[in-house]
Amino acid sequence: MTQNILKFSGILALLMLVVFAIHLSVLLFIDLPLFDNRIISAYIVNFVLAIIIYLAMLLLKHKYQSQLGFIFMFGSFLKFIVFFIVFYPFYKADNTITKMEFAAFFVPYVVCLIIETTSLSKWLNKLG
């Protein structure tokens, strides 16, 4: 199990760094501030939550095998709760959420979701 979480964390960290660099490059190219909209926090929070969800799924995969889909959905729900508690008040402070604010949170969210889903589906297929 330790090997699984280390491999997942390494792949996730590498891909998140690449996406973060691309994200910053796009912001630089279109001449927008690089570190506005809590972009660093958004990447870190999504990274940490993805690891926590993956670890929870690994720990619960044998005991709750038939409920793993619900556990995964709960993890996504947890991410949205964190978004609405930590990021939403900041983004909504001026009564509007800009495209850059939206992208700052949802780019890392989608990247983590894709990596989580891909990784989890691989080992769930092995369980079957």
pLDDT at 128: 61
How would residue 113 be classed by pLDDT, with cut points 50, 70 and 90? very high
How far is the C-alpha of 105 from the C-alpha of 40, rounded, in Å? 9
- For 82-106, how does the pLDDT look when each residue is reduced to its tens digit (9 = 90+)? 999 999 999 889 998 889 999 999 9
CA atoms lying within 13 Å on the CB side of residue 80: 6
Instruction: Give the residue from 97, 99, 88, 93 showing the smallest Cα distance to 32.
Output: 99
How far is the C-alpha of 17 from the C-alpha of 66, rounded, in Å? 34
How far is the C-alpha of 41 from the C-alpha of 53, rounded, in Å? 18
Q: Which two tokens mark 105?
A: 């949170």
How would residue 7 be classed by pLDDT, with cut points 50, 70 and 90? very high
Q: Which two tokens mark 78?
A: 């947890």
CB 43 within 8 A of CB 18: no
Neighbours of 53 (CB within 10 A): 21
- For 20-67, how does the pLDDT look when each residue is reduced to its tens digit (9 = 90+)? 999 999 999 999 999 989 999 999 999 999 999 999 988 888 888 778
Neighbours of 121 (CB within 10 A): 11
How far is the C-alpha of 100 from the C-alpha of 66, rounded, in Å? 39
Q: Which two tokens mark 51?
A: 């690891």
